[in-house]
Amino acid sequence: MGASRGAVSAWALDGIPEIVPGDALAAVIGDALAASAEGVAAGDILVITSKIVSKAEGRIVHAGTREDAITAETVRVVATRPGPDGSLVRIVENRLGIVGAAAGVDASNTAAGTVLLLPLDPDASARALCAALRARFGVPLGVLVSDTLGRAWRIGQTDIAIGAAGMAVVDDLRGSVDSAGRELQVTIPVVADEIAGLGDLVKGKASGHPVAVVRGMGRLVTAEVDTPGARALPRTGEADMFRLGTDEAYAAGFDDGRAVAGGGASRPGPGSRPGSDAHPAGAAQPAGGSR
């Protein structure tokens, strides 16, 4: 992007009530912004928890079990492990191309017997919100729809962007030079995820503040609302270098080798790879985490 860096601030937006299906979310958020002491400034970026987008859009499912909803949202199974409580932890790719635990199906902060699915098209949701809020306030701003996800090889979770509009989702630094004059060839910070994580720090998980405002990153905000969104961020297909969990990849390779050799041995189960020190209950945590 090339612009100079300045101070960045972030805060949770007060005044967002409990959202129910059919609520005009842009109006609700707009009213809260209008009433806030900080107001709205050109270049502000709103980080909106996907949960309230899902609620407003009626993405509430009365499922017999949460597992049924996970299965319905799953495109591809990456890994399965027994969880600490004996349930099956599934790391899967969902229809949005996101790899994580439980396909993004959330059973928290929703009525008993129901689960929340992710928005059908988070980028489209972000575009609609961004366009409505720009029209109301007359300034360019960006919108991120965020969700909580674990990361491979890292414990815990952080928020990432699953929808975006009115802003760049990456800061492509390839072709620029570092402080030593060397050309950067692969450096592409995913600023949408970084800002989503910042928004989560001020929103919290259970404080009743599902929207954050980030100010000072206006260099990322674009004149157009319809920009490449967060759907462009997941690595899928041939770009995905880690399509299976370790034990699943080993088992698939074992089967392939047995087929070539003409059979004879039985396929090992998850966790039985020779020399593996993976903990069955915890192996899935880095990839997806709990929601």
Strand, helix or coil for residue 175: coil
**pLDDT number for residue 284:** 36
Two tokens, residue 184: 């950067």
CA distances in angstroms from 171 to 194, 246, 247, listed in the order given: 11, 32, 35
- C-beta atoms surrounding 191 within 10 Å: 21
- Looking at mean pLDDT, say which of 20-34, 162-176, 233-247, 254-268 comes out highest: 20-34
Q: What is the mean pLDDT of residues 80-99?
A: 90
Taking Cα atoms as reference points, which of 207, 198, 210, 125 lies closest to residue 160? 198
Q: Please give the pLDDT value at position 201.
A: 95
Report which of residues 205 and 4 the model is more confident about: 205
d(CA 215, CA 12) in angstroms, rounded, equals: 12
Nearest-5° Cα angle at 230, 192 to 179 = 40
Sign, CA dihedral 26-28-31-37, equals negative
More confident residue, 3 or 239: 239
**Model pTM score:** 0.84
Q: For residues 221 and 192, what is the distance between their CA atoms, to the nearest angstrom?
A: 11
Do 126 and 46 form a contact (C-beta atoms < 8 A)? no
Phi, psi (deg, nearest 5) at residue 251? -65, -40
Half-sphere exposure for 103 (CA within 13 Å, toward CB): 22
Query: Once rounded to an integer, what is the mean pLDDT over residues 194-209?
Result: 90
pLDDT of residue 146: 97
Distance CA 251, CA 62 (A): 36
Give me 34's structure tokens: 């209008």
First to last CA, the chain: 34
Q: Where are the beta strands (DSSP E) in the chain?
A: 9-12, 45-49, 60-61, 74-82, 88-94, 99-101, 115-116, 142-151, 154-165, 211-215
Q: What is the band of 270 on the pLDDT scale with cuts at 50, 70, 90?
A: low
Q: What is the pLDDT of residues 130-170, one digit of tens each?
A: 999 999 999 999 999 999 999 888 999 999 999 999 999 99
pLDDT, average across residues 210-222: 97
* pLDDT mean over 197-226: 93
Contact (Cβ atoms closer than 8 angstroms) between residue 66 and residue 115: yes
pLDDT at 213 exceeding the cut of 70: yes
Q: Helices marked H in the chain — which ranges?
A: 25-35, 50-56, 66-73, 122-137, 191-203, 246-261
Q: So what's the pLDDT on residue 264?
A: 57
Strands 142-151 and 45-49: parallel
Who contacts 115 (Cβ-Cβ below 8 Å, separation ≥6)? 60, 61, 63, 66, 69, 105, 106, 107
